[in-house]
Structure 1
Amino acid sequence: MRILHTSDWHLGRSFHREGMLGHQAAYVDHLLAVVEQESVDLVVVAGDVYDRALPPVDAVRLANETFTRIARSRAKLVVTSGNHDSAHRLGFGAELMDAAGVFVRTSALSVGAPVLLDDEHGTVAIYGLPYLEPDLVREPWALAGRSHEAALTEAMRRVHADLRTRPTGTRSVVMAHAFVAGTRPVEPSDSERDISVGGVSIVPTDVFEGIDYVALGHLHGRHTLTESIRYSGSPLAYSFSEAGHRKGSWLVDLDASGVTGAEFIDAPVPRALAKISGDLDSLLTRGDLEGHADAWVHATITDDVRPVRAMDRLRERFPHTLVLSFEPAGGRSATLPSARPAAGKSDHAIAVDFLREMRGRPASAEESALLLDACDSCAPDHDLDAVVG
């Protein structure tokens, strides 16, 4: 059996206010092409189909089109819910979709009840574990502890109990959405939502002992924890912390003995990500940055004084600059000034002081006049504020 492992689509998500739905649709086209070109038998999506519990209409439409296209392809599809999904909304119509070869598993009640598929070597049992919020399953499952490890340990107990009822030689695939870590450190990205409970979120790999392949979701970077336990990562980057990630899906081959190979299939990249740093003049002239002209850019400017129109000037060279940070090389803090009593000061004076403290130099006469107009337009008495010299 040939399995395509993907996760964390986050349909409907934007990237620093940049719409991603078109890029997500391009990934779906890529996925369907891989299914046909690589003779994929099963597609597994390990959670976070949507970016939020109440997804936008266009995201729901894309998910519907995707499921329909896969149902019409050569492959079966198993989908589980992640911590960003609404289990009830994603799972609506699951029983009806089963008949079409689209198996959506979003309820803890389905843990231990596999999707059974056959190949020339016999049966493969696919256990789709939805995201298991410890606080929601602790009481009904009588868990001894309040943790993700406790929830998944109980889920896997149920999986193994079912596996023992299956014929000898039945192979197993488990899908889970969690923060699983092995002997090597795994770094989360900024775009992942924290799922820790009481400060603890990590699940050890030995919870999944005895399973032929474990398809993980939640972390947005691809990771190989063991040869049979992997994260596919998200197919698109959703934060600049993912600038070094390689995005795509795992193509896994399963024969009578278990996993015989896993190949990473690269996904199409809409734009490269670039993080650049330096004083503004150097960012606008350095030759080594020429290759970032078409990238999404996160720029950190290190000038001692915040430059005027920095974003506009950067976008003349890097049109797709999305984030601008200010970190003066001299070490002056770029954080907001602390609140101080302003008794006796006009709104205009407070605004001028704020600008000076944030930027490191006084407002120009034109800027002071503009701030005065802004303050006056909000004041009940337009004569209250006087120009501050």
Structure 2
Amino acid sequence: MRILHTSDWHLGRSFHREDLLAAQERFVDHLVETVRAERVGCVVVSGDVYDRALPSVDAVRLCDDALRRLRELTRVVLIAGNHDSAHRLGFGSALMDDSGVHVRTDFRRVGEPILIGDAAFYGVPYLEPEIVRHEWELAERGHAATLGQAMRRVRDDIARRGPGTRSVVLAHAFVTGGEPSESERDISVGGSSHVPASVFAGVDYVALGHLHGAWAVTDRVRYSGSPIAYSFSEERHVKGTWLVDLREGGVAAEFVEAPVPRRLARIRGRLDALLTDASFARYEDHWLQVTLTDARRPPAAMERLRGRFPHALVLGFEPEGGGADGAPAWAERVRERSDLDIAGDFVAEVTDGPASAAERVLLQEAFEACRRKEALT
């Protein structure tokens, strides 16, 4: 069985106000051609098909076109990610099953496989911990507990299958060992966002979604990453899909690179140097995040930069030696900090004292309530 593993399409997303729909269409063309050329038996899409719960009409049209074209060539298994609305994405899934497009968005069905050839495919959509914990009456909170319970149900079904059945799990989660970027939505509320790769023991291949960089956590547990860069932190990513052969005794995976709409780069320096230094010429056709280090903020800086770098998108200002008060930039202060910690800082700022334990509990409950509401839309 040969499968093509992809995820995190985020259809409808823009890049700092740059429309990416044409680039996403190019990726779909590439995906279809890869399936045709490589004789793929099943395409697995591991969540975040759309960028938001209420996708645009153009995003829905592109998804419809992609699934229709893929179905003409192969079977498709698709799950909901944390950006998707499970209810909306799952509409009509029972009808689509008959066509060979299998959409799995209901966590209650994680132990029900889709059988394709000699392989059983188990769709484990994004599991919102507080919703799943109550439904499954789990004693523990967090992503590890909910995904652990889902995988117990998967393994129970695998045990009932014949010895020649291969197993493939699609999951949308943050597995320890993967490298995050700045464009994934934080899922840490409701307990630690990380789960160990060992939770997937006993499965032939695990097709992960959520992190945007392609990554082999183990030989059998992999992230395909997003097909397009969605933040400047992904400037060194190589985007694409995993072409996976399920073989007797193991798996073989080959990475297939996707087309690049435009290269990314982050550059910094004084404005005059950026505008005149020949060493920056190679960035003239890139999407750019520019950080100016002039002692004083130059007037009309972005307008002047775009005279040389027409695709400059983001402009920051970090004067050499630090700001006027010596404080680090906001991006540095919040990097790798949870929403709860940032909200706690806000409380401390407006009340002249750190958030109490009771206030942090209230903040966490508020975040969790927002997540539950979003997951149910």
| Fold match by TM threshold 0.5 | yes
SS at match of 1:140: helix
Which SS does the other structure have where 2:168 is aligned? strand
Contact in 2 for aligned 1:171/1:258 (Cα 8 Å): no
1:78: Cα distance to partner?
0.2
Output the CA distance in 1 between the equivalents of 2:299 and 2:76.
53
Which letter does structure 2 place at the counterpart of 1:163?
Answer: I
Residue type matched to 1:10 in 2? H
Structure-2 residue corresponding to 1:359: none
Letter in 1 for 2:280: L
Deviation, structure 1 residue 330: 2.6
Do the aligned partners of residues 153 and 317 (structure 1) sit closer, same or farther apart at CA in structure 2, a change above 3 Å counting?
Answer: same
| Aligned position for 2:313 | 322
Aligned residues: 328
Report the counterpart of residue 180 of structure 2 in structure 1.
Answer: 188
Q: Cα deviation per residue 1:348-376 (whole Å; 9 max; x = unaligned)? A: xxxxxxxxxxxxxxxxxxxxxxxxxxxxx
Q: Do structure 1's residue 213 and structure 2's residue 208 form an aligned pair?
A: no
Match of 2:155 among 160, 175, 179: 160
Structure 1's unaligned 5+ residue stretches are 338-389
Q: Could you tell me whether the CA contact under 8 Å between 1:7 and 1:47 is conserved in 2? A: yes
Equivalent runs, 1:339-358 vs 2, <5 Å: none
Counterpart of 2:131 in structure 1: which amino acid?
L
In 1, Cα distance between equivalents of 2:135 and 2:315: 48
| Equivalent residue number for residue 27 of structure 1 | 27
Letter of the 1:167 partner, please give it. Answer: G
Question: 1:273 is matched by which residue type in structure 2?
Answer: L
What displacement does 1:38 show? Answer: 1.0
CA distance in 2, matches of 1:136, 1:278: 48
State the AA in 1 paired with 2:57.
V
Offset, 1:270: 0.4
1:111 is matched with 110
1:275 and 2:266 are equivalent in the alignment: yes
**CA distance in structure 1 between the partners assigned to 2:135 and 2:88 by the alignment:** 22
Equivalent position of 1:237 in the other structure: 229
Are 1:61 and 2:61 matched, yes or no? yes
Counterpart of 2:43, as a letter, is V
Residues 1:248 and 2:240 are matched in the alignment: yes
TM-score w.r.t. length of structure 2: 0.85
Unpaired runs of 5+ residues, structure 2, are 330-377
Q: Deviation of residue 139 (structure 1)?
A: 1.3
Say if 2:63 is the partner of 1:71: no
| Aligned match for 2:119, one of 108, 124, 143 | 124
CA offsets 1:191-239 (integer angstroms, 9 cap, x no match): 1000013451100000000100000000001111100000000000000
Higher relative contact order structure (alpha carbons within 8 Å, sequence separation ≥ 6) = 2
- The match for 1:351 is none
Q: Are 1:146 and 1:197, in contact at CA under 8 Å, matched by a contact in 2? A: no
Identity %: 61
Q: Once the 2 structures are TM-superposed, how far is the Cα of residue 257 of structure 1 from its aligned partner?
A: 2.5
**Which one-letter code corresponds to 1:103 in the other structure?**
H
Partners of 1:42 and 1:290 in 2: CA distance: 43
Counterpart residue identity of residue 131, structure 1: Y
The structure carrying a bigger helix percent of its residues is: 2
Structure 2 counterpart of 1:28, which letter? V
**Alignment pair present for 1:309 and 2:300:** yes
In structure 2, C-alpha distance between the alignment counterparts of 1:77 and 1:268, rounded to whole Å: 22
Residues 198 and 87 of structure 1: CA distance in aligned 2, closer, same or farther (over 3 Å): closer
Query: Using the alignment, how far apart are the partners of 2:136 and 2:160 within structure 1?
Result: 21
Residue-by-residue CA offset, 1:312-364 (whole Å, 9 max, x unaligned): 11001100000000000131249899xxxxxxxxxxxxxxxxxxxxxxxxxxx
User: Could you say which residue in structure 1 is the equivalent of 2:290?
Assistant: 299
Letter in 1 for 2:181: S
TM-score where L is the length of structure 1:
0.82
**Does structure 2 conserve the Cα–Cα contact (< 8 Å) formed by 1:148 and 1:197?**
no
Taking the aligned partners of 2:324 and 2:228, their CA distance within structure 1 comes to 33
Q: Where do 4+ consecutive residues of structure 1 move more than 3 Å?
A: 333-337
